[in-house]
Structure 1
Amino acid sequence: MLELQHLDAGYDSTRVLHSVSMHGSPHGIAAILGHNGAGKTTMLRAAIGLIRPSRGTVLFEGEDVTALSPSARVRRGMAYVPQGQQSFEQLTTRENLQVVADRRRGPRRAQLVDDALGRFPALTEVIDRRAGLLSGGQRQQLAIARALITEPKLLILDEPTEGIQPSVVAEIEQTIIGLSRDEGLSVLLAVQHIDFALHAAERYAVLAAGRVTRAGAGGAEAQRDVREAMAI
């Protein structure tokens, strides 16, 4: 689904990623792990096109999309939920969802908001509340629901459970797993929560100082290697 090949990328003259390569997991979950400052967000921003790499290639469904804008990548089926539970704070939950649905075309347009609410039932309880008044967990669910309205093939999530109460973390994690397992959605997520990432992910990569230090298949057998890599 997504493949990054030898990416160098950063901000102005500061290089953050150093020849980073990673294969996503078609119809599965791939996890990028690493401490703060390791380069995870830069890697995701390069994947969606918010940062143009100075070297390397981004492939999506076998197509070179390195030169495409973020909007062009979204039209091809990529969606990105950045860190920070972003939303239109002055709009209600319903309005936040509807503003995305109104940009869609086709016969399912009217159903998209209901589908999003079906994935996050807790949002129905705050459907008419302004987003700026929601809890962190509710805003994160809203941010993911907004991305899903675009009907992506690949969902890119940056720290989707950071700073959220444990009960909501579990709900978000189960939704992510269900989207991949039941709906065939490919997911790429950056996380520090090792247990969830390796339990859910079919593939993983560990970043440190902008370089991939470990990569492989997820699962319980990978946890020791990842913990050792992140202890360095």
Structure 2
Amino acid sequence: MTLLEIDTVHAGYARSTVLHGISLTVPRDGVAAVLGHNGAGKSTLLRAAAGLLIPSRGAVRLDGEDVTRLRPHQRVARGLAYVPQGQQCFPQLTASENLRLVADGRPDGRAATDEALDLFPALRTLGHRPAGLLSGGQRQQLALARALVTRPRLLLLDEPTEGIQPSVVAEIEAAILSLTRRGGLSVLLVEQHVGFALRAAAHYHVLEAGRVTSSGVGGAGAEEVVRGVLRV
């Protein structure tokens, strides 16, 4: 079954169209990966899914509901969480304060925070440290943990392994797989790290110049196919 459907979406900025009729789906309790070179439209696709960019044509459906015209906070209320590129955090606040900003006011905020920290235990010992002083990998874990505190049904991840050391990439991959195997979470993963993406994803889509040029099933054998399509 499908949780997110991107249906013939055209979107861009001002008079520049970046996405040209993109259609893809994210399975319920599964991972779909979007791969492509810089400038292919991957981040624009996530912005359209998150509600930060309204398509000029086409539709975005979340669990069967047309959310194309809904604002980002309305999509968040329906179970969407977005982790943008760049290990974003509030640098002057501690790691714990970054998490409390999301948890406060939620009836299950403390339990959700504990569950997120179980996935990234290094953050427990770094809670007192200003987020701006964390390493890139630690900030990315913090950004993911903060999104998970909202208990999303759909997690949009934009290049979560960019500039991250291999050991942390492995931890992020393990966390994503653990969450989706547990059930209740779907992930749309935008990634340039082909191996990571195809290990995590049940399905993949390759973007080139704002169009889906190849789709398939992840797992064994898919990496060679995708590398051939991307010429990497």
Could you state the TM-score of these two structures normalised by the residue count of structure 2?
Answer: 0.96
Deviates more, 1:15-24 or 1:113-122: 113-122
Residue equivalent to 2:200: 200
Residue equivalent to 1:172: 172
Post-superposition shift, 1:215? 0.8
Post-superposition shift, 1:103? 3.7
Structure-to-structure mapping, 1:109-188, within 5 angstroms: 109-188=109-188
- What is the CA–CA distance in structure 1 between the aligned matches of 2:6 and 2:211, rounded to whole Å? 13
Residue equivalent to 2:96: 94
Structure-to-structure mapping, 1:33-112, within 5 angstroms: 33-104=35-106, 106=107, 108-112=108-112
Q: Are 2:219 and 1:219 aligned?
A: yes
- What is the CA–CA distance in structure 2 between the aligned matches of 1:168 and 1:124, rounded to whole Å? 15
- What is the CA–CA distance in structure 2 between the aligned matches of 1:184 and 1:51, rounded to whole Å? 26
Post-superposition shift, 1:193? 1.1
- Supply the AA of the counterpart residue of 2:118: G
- Supply the AA of the counterpart residue of 1:115: E
* Superimposed CA distance per residue, residues 151-179 of structure 1 (whole angstroms, 9 cap, x where no aligned partner): 10001100001101111111111111111
- Supply the AA of the counterpart residue of 1:205: H
Residue equivalent to 1:228: 228
Q: Is the 8 A contact 1:28 1:184 kept in 2?
A: no
Tell me the number of residue pairs that the alignment of Structure 1 and Structure 2 aligns.
Answer: 230
- What is the CA–CA distance in structure 2 between the aligned matches of 1:25 and 1:216, rounded to whole Å? 13
- What is the CA–CA distance in structure 2 between the aligned matches of 1:222 and 1:109, rounded to whole Å? 39
Once superposed, which parts of structure 1, at least 4 consecutive aligned residues long, lie more than 6 Å away?
Answer: none
Deviates more, 1:192-201 or 1:93-102: 192-201
Unaligned runs of 5+ in 2: none
Q: Is the 8 A contact 1:25 1:186 kept in 2?
A: yes
- What is the CA–CA distance in structure 1 between the aligned matches of 2:44 and 2:134, rounded to whole Å? 28
SS of 2:156's equivalent? strand
Cα RMSD (Å) of the superposition?
1.1
Post-superposition shift, 1:225? 2.4
Post-superposition shift, 1:223? 2.3
Post-superposition shift, 1:184? 3.5
SS of 1:2's equivalent? strand
Q: Percent identity?
A: 60
Could you state the TM-score of these two structures normalised by the residue count of structure 1?
Answer: 0.96
* Superimposed CA distance per residue, residues 126-162 of structure 1 (whole angstroms, 9 cap, x where no aligned partner): 1100001000000000000000011100011000011
* Superimposed CA distance per residue, residues 92-136 of structure 1 (whole angstroms, 9 cap, x where no aligned partner): 0100000100142x3x23322222211110101211000010000
Deviates more, 1:156-165 or 1:176-185: 176-185
